[in-house]
Amino acid sequence: MDIDTVNRMDRPTFVAMFGGIFEHSPWVAARAYEKRPFSNPKALHAAMVAAVESSARDEQLALLRAHPDLAGKEAREGTMTASSVVEQASAALDRLTPDEMARINDLNQKYRARHGFPFIVAVRHYTKAGILHEFERRLANDTATELGCALQQVFAITGFRIAERFDRVEAIPASDSEHLSV
Amino acid sequence: MDIDTVNRMDRPTFVAMFGGIFEHSPWVAARAYEKRPFSNPKALHAAMVAAVESSARDEQLALLRAHPDLAGKEAREGTMTASSVVEQASAALDRLTPDEMARINDLNQKYRARHGFPFIVAVRHYTKAGILHEFERRLANDTATELGCALQQVFAITGFRIAERFDRVEAIPASDSEHLSV
């Protein structure tokens, strides 16, 4: 996929293609669509980031709340998005010891109780030890600071997702692309 | 090694043993020595952290400046401490592509020019992508904020080092311990 193809998409196609970049929040893609044309994938991502940054506080909170817990109920029940499954596996969060699982469950509960949204972290930026360290540190933040931190993490996560959406489809011969479920 | 052994050490032995925990800064161990006895390795680390936190700004800056650049001149010339060699290798910083090397060199120079000390990061908490992300982000901080961030990273690095100093020696039979150069 190249950026010219994206710039030619009608709105429903564009939202179908990029509605999942921001977790369960296709409204972000729908608003970014109005900013076409994009000069490259980074510009497309920047338009989506700007849509979130200029959205109402309630919409930002809804976006954060659309994310799964880290190694939480959705992971155990197999109801996470494919992107989240791959991301959490990259930091070995799908292969936790019972002690690590118990510690993360406890942190998930405390974090949600304190801040009102799940702990969100760009797991591809951290090792497992780093994720646990950040979890403790960010749990102690005040919620206004933490809302900003969480959005920055969402922007890092979605930057990876956009880059991969372009890389992945380009890397596959056109004749096979119908088998993709991206 | 156990904490009782540590609590019985005289001052020169203690400083010889722990003087390298804070990079090229044995004064940290020397001051922490006055706070014996320690109930466990974490308490020893906390005493060292407290010694740094209560030190003068100039001493804190000297501590930060005693650290090597990330994948920098000391790494290339083989003059890093053994701890730093192992830490930087853990994030694959000893196996950079020429492009990554050029980007890190550029960031090292900009960071030192702006803040007056090298970029310090607990590499065991981050992936390579995460380190580069943090490097860009922290470069843009104001220097007062960044001094605090850098010290927090030093505390994370030294926490790993203390834990390993205890783990490693305990894991080896007493008859072999004379071959250790810890």
* Predicted TM-score (pTM) of this structure: 0.81
Closest CA to A110 of A66, A77, A146: A146
- Work out the average pLDDT over B127-146: 95
Q: What is the mean pLDDT of chain B?
A: 89
Residue B8 burial (C-beta neighbours within 10 Å; 0-12, 13-18, 19+): exposed
Q: What is the mean pLDDT of chain A?
A: 90
**Closest alpha carbon within chain B to A121:** B130
Contact by Cβ (8 Å): B156, B122: yes
The pLDDT value given to residue B169: 53
A67 is catalytic: yes
Give how far A9 is from chain B: nearest CA, Å. Answer: 31
User: Annotated active-site positions of B, please?
Assistant: 67
Has residue A173 got a pLDDT over 90? no
Contacts of A130 in chain B (CB under 8 A): 122, 124-126, 130
The pLDDT value given to residue A172: 45
Fold of B3-173: UraD-like (1.10.3330)
Do you find a cis peptide bond into B12, omega within 30 degrees of 0? no
Residues of B with CB under 8 A from a CB of A: 122, 124-127, 129-130, 133-134, 156
- Work out the average pLDDT over B143-149: 96
List, as own/partner pairs, every contact residues A54-61 make where C-beta atoms lie below 8 angstroms and the sequence separation is at least 24, other chains included: A55/A31, A59/A27, A60/A147, A60/A151, A61/A116, A61/A117, A61/A147
- Work out the average pLDDT over A72-88: 84
Q: Do B127 and A124 touch (CB under 8 A)?
A: yes
**Candidates A87, A126, A132, partner chain B, best to mutate (most B CBs within 10 A):** A126
The pLDDT value given to residue A88: 81
The pLDDT value given to residue A168: 64
List, as own/partner pairs, every contact residues B76-84 make where C-beta atoms lie below 8 angstroms and the sequence separation is at least 24, other chains included: B81/B20, B81/B23, B81/B24, B83/B20, B83/B23, B83/B161, B84/B23
- Work out the average pLDDT over A125-133: 94
Contacts of B148 in chain A (CB under 8 A): none
The pLDDT value given to residue A169: 53
Q: In sequence order, which residues have a C-beta less than 8 Å from that of residue A86 and are 6 or more positions away?
A: none
Characterise A176 by phi-psi region: left (phi > 0), alpha (psi -120 to 50), beta (else).
Answer: alpha
> B143-170 vs B41-53: helix axis angle to the nearest 10?
150
Residue pLDDT, tens place only, B81-124: 888 888 888 778 888 898 999 999 999 999 999 999 999 999 99
Residue pLDDT, tens place only, B17-42: 999 999 999 999 999 999 999 999 99
Give the up-direction half-sphere exposure of residue A74: CA atoms within 13 A in the CB hemisphere. 15
Give how far A125 is from chain B: nearest CA, Å. Answer: 4
For A100-128, give the secondary structure using H, E and C: HHHHHHHHHHHHHHHHCCCCCCCHHHECH
**Closest alpha carbon within chain A to B121:** A130
Residue pLDDT, tens place only, A155-164: 999 999 999 8
Structure tokens at A32: 């970014």
d(CA B64, CA A102) in angstroms, rounded, equals: 36
Q: Would you call A66 helix, strand, or coil by DSSP?
A: coil
Say which of B122, B129, B156 has its CB closest to residue A125: B129
Bridge partners (DSSP) listed for residue B153 = none
Percentage of residues in chain B having pLDDT higher than 90:
72
Has residue B180 got a pLDDT over 50? no
- Work out the average pLDDT over A41-57: 97
